[in-house]
Structure 1
Amino acid sequence: MFTTRHKAVTAVAAAALIMLPSLHSAVAAAPETPPPTPGAASAQDRDVYKVPNTDSKQRTEIAATGAQVLSSATGEATVEATRAQAEQLRQAGFTLQHQANVADALAKRSKGAPGQFPPGDEAYHTYDEVQQEMDAAANDHPEIAAKSVVGTSFEGKDIPMMKISNNVAQDEDQPEVLFNCNIHAREHLTTEMCMRIIQRFTDNYPDDPTVKEMVDTREIWVIPVSNPDGSIYDYESGEYQGWRKNRQDQGTDLNRNFGYKWGCCGGSSGDPASETYRGEEAFSAPETQVLRDFAESRVINGEQQLKGFIDFHTFSELVLWPFGHTEDDVTDGMTQEERDRFERVGTAMADTNGYTPQQSSDLYVTDGDSLDYMWGEQRILSFTFEMYPSSGGIDGFYPPGDVIAEETARNDAAVDIMLREAGAGA
């Protein structure tokens, strides 16, 4: 079904288009060049540092300044910070080893045509290409695939979603799993992960027995771009912007804007210029409202139909489970039995892809994230995958296009484990 981005794809309306009552659509054109963002920290004002000898508590301290921990390997954290945040960290006693200025590092990448990814990254799907490929999947496989619009972004762009199931037009009593990608704008490899899931579970049906089993016994939901405004802004000039948030005012970190334990525990920032700004209030961002409303819409006769959720991110090669807001393994909303299940499933998935399995807060404390909301509020078995590479600076968000096939296929077996476990119960 999928073409290369060098071929034209005919956009067609999905014959089996389904629309849940809460779904709606809107159309907005993206500008050719990124508009300025008053008040937000520019790439020129952000630098990448190595911070040696850190543990989870110290990484939480680092994140509490509004700086972002990009990765952590053997205790050495890679941190993105503004000059003011860096000075705050030095005053707190941290040793910062300067690696690169974000703007300078991004400028080393070749600039491409407006609206396209830079040279070498042509294999990445633009937002329009995502839409076209999803339309093609629904057209080629109308019995098992249907495209819909789950909601709209701050700028009014459609957030497309694919449902894959053997009776796709019917709301059957089957376990459901949601795969979400690109909630952070610059994490484009995650969009490719969701596109891989769509391709695999449509093109490989019915020849692949594993795919057929899952499509016949599950309802699979896939959102390849849940932050379209930010994603487009990041590449639309033909040169990466290093942009993380949505495009609401100075930008909200969508993965700190969910309502469960929002702003509770030092795991987000109240500074609108921060990369981890949590927003004015819980669910103040339209994009998080969309994910919340969809999750709530899947409660049928008092029972949540979504039994599994994976939110794909980059980077660090981790499989994370709840909770992020506390370092406690067992706490309000997490029994020992539940925690043991998370560890068992997370470790099994990590065994297939070589990632490191751990509780989310083992990296550093976060609050208001999708992982905690989907489990804490909705009781959905939820994981965050931090994809390739295992470490790096700002370049870690922009791996070359020639790794897409290998790094997305690397998660096939883990996706299958999630789908199987969704039907297993507690």
Structure 2
Amino acid sequence: MYPLRRRTVTALSVTTLLFVLPVTQSATADPVTAGEAEPDSARAVYRVPETDPASRTAVNRTGALVLSVDEGTAFVTATPEQAERLRSRGMTLHRVADGPTQSQSAPARPAEFPPEDSGYHTYSETLAEIEEAATDHPGIVDSTSAGSSARGRDIPVVKISDRADVDEAEPEVLFTCNQHAREHLTAEMCLHILRRYTDGYGSNPGITEAVDNREIWIIPMVNPDGATYDVAGADYRGWRRNRQSTPVDLNRNWGYRWGCCGGSSGDPSQPTYRGPAPFSAPEIASVRDFVESRVVGGRQRITAHIDFHSFSELVLWPYGYTTADTAPGMTREQYRRFAELGNAMADTNGYTPMQSSDLYVTDGSVNDWMWAEHGILSFTFEMYPSGGGLDGFYPPDEVIQRETSRNDEAVAMLLDEAGN
């Protein structure tokens, strides 16, 4: 586990659901089992220079995990055996001191962030933010539940539109956050979008136009069990997956090209474990069902999507399962649209744009499924910082406002593109 710190970073349509399903906090107990650990938490962190997409994919296929990439230098977590395997393949590994210092603050209570990071929202605080937005803006905000997590927590879904109680035939845009438990800055990103497109309505012309002409959907915590578990107690746990009895990497559990191409692991001990079958994770099955509920009259109403992750400061688009620019379901023209929009959004936030597989090959990912199965223009944003080791998952709360507002123009650009 990762001690407290001030750490230093080293480098049924939905209309049927609305107003019916309350979002509750009920959940089964999630005690810490003695000796239980996410694989990353027992691994060393290494800096690996001069990597490319093929070598980074090879790293992940050994069971090691690429944490971030900055100008070709990858930060990797690996067991001693995996590190030796990589060295035997000619890679240079430099072990880095990723151990944060012990905080002098009072220990946090279970399910709370450390005191110095109290600006982050816990699951219960996230629900309270949603409730407050619905109370303050009753005409344009409503909420429901996409379904339940493995431990029984509701997965909240928020709708923002000028007539939130009506299922209008308008282009819809979906924002999802916190698929990976330790990526808490992403949940703040979704809450920032919620606040921006409600508090700014009626006073900001661009926001008002978007809310009047779009239906905006936000899922702030796809993985509420994992996010809660990661901060429960005095330490960060570095937890990535969900909290099933055999935890699953949610962003390897989507059904399109699941387990096809060496971009996930079939080994339950590995951090990219894809699960025993597509959509075996209840969280992913719930989000799938929500997305499919937006097929109205045979047409998918959601036209654009961003899934927020951290970290590396990247804008990524499909496909992840293949290094080819075009593949079944992706024409040259469609690829060009992804690339042009991805580059344009990256111009606004300073991220690096690329096809997902240019980072490394993944299979069973949300972007590939959204596009291949529903034709949704789906991107991943890897947020701040640009590089580093395990500390990169835990930036101080002082950066929340800066790093979430950094994506304002990109979000507005996607909302505009959704109508085309």
**TM-score, normalised on structure 2?**
0.92
Partner of 1:376: 372
After the TM superposition, which residues 263-278 of structure 1 pair with which residues of structure 2 at under 5 Å, given as runs? 263-278=259-274
> Which deviates the most, 21-30 or 133-142?
21-30
Partner of 1:220: 216
**2:27 matched to 1:34?**
no
Contact in 2 for aligned 1:18/1:146 (Cα 8 Å): no
Structure 1 residues 270 and 22: CA distance shift in structure 2, 3 A:
farther
After the TM superposition, which residues 15-26 of structure 1 pair with which residues of structure 2 at under 5 Å, given as runs? 19-20=17-18
Structure 1 residues 107 and 205: CA distance shift in structure 2, 3 A:
same
- How far 1:295 sits from its partner (Å)? 1.0
Task: For structure 1, list consecutive stretches of 5 or more residues without a partner in the other structure.
Answer: 1-16
Contact in 2 for aligned 1:317/1:389 (Cα 8 Å): yes
Partner of 2:5: none
Partner of 1:241: 237
Cα distance between partner residues in 2 of 1:106 and 1:340: 46
Partner of 2:82: 85
**2:195 matched to 1:199?**
yes
Structure 1 residues 117 and 87: CA distance shift in structure 2, 3 A:
same
Partner of 1:134: 130
**2:393 matched to 1:397?**
yes
- How far 1:348 sits from its partner (Å)? 0.9
What residue identity is the alignment partner of 2:412?
D
Partner of 1:7: none
> SS at 1:62's partner residue?
helix
Structure 1 residues 108 and 87: CA distance shift in structure 2, 3 A:
farther
- How far 1:118 sits from its partner (Å)? 1.1
> SS at 1:105's partner residue?
coil
> SS at 2:234's partner residue?
coil
**2:48 matched to 1:70?**
no
Contact in 1 for aligned 2:261/2:363 (Cα 8 Å): yes
- How far 1:396 sits from its partner (Å)? 0.4
- How far 1:183 sits from its partner (Å)? 0.5
Structure 1 residues 100 and 143: CA distance shift in structure 2, 3 A:
same
Contact in 2 for aligned 1:39/1:250 (Cα 8 Å): no
- How far 1:114 sits from its partner (Å)? 2.6
> Which deviates the most, 152-161 or 20-29?
20-29
Cα distance between partner residues in 2 of 1:333 and 1:206: 40
**2:100 matched to 1:105?**
yes
Cα distance between partner residues in 2 of 1:241 and 1:40: 8
Structure 1 residues 23 and 90: CA distance shift in structure 2, 3 A:
farther
**2:310 matched to 1:310?**
no
For residues 230-260 of structure 1, the C-alpha deviation after alignment (integer angstroms, 9 at most, x for no partner) is 0000001131000000011241000000000
User: How many residue pairs were aligned?
Assistant: 405
Task: Kindly report the root-mean-square deviation, in angstroms, between the aligned alpha carbons of the 2 structures.
Answer: 2.0
Contact in 2 for aligned 1:56/1:364 (Cα 8 Å): yes
Partner of 1:183: 179
Contact in 1 for aligned 2:26/2:152 (Cα 8 Å): yes
Partner of 2:162: 166
For residues 128-187 of structure 1, the C-alpha deviation after alignment (integer angstroms, 9 at most, x for no partner) is 100001001001111000011111100110111110000100000000000000000000
For residues 170-229 of structure 1, the C-alpha deviation after alignment (integer angstroms, 9 at most, x for no partner) is 000000000000000000000000000000111111100011000000000001011000
Structure 1 residues 158 and 37: CA distance shift in structure 2, 3 A:
farther
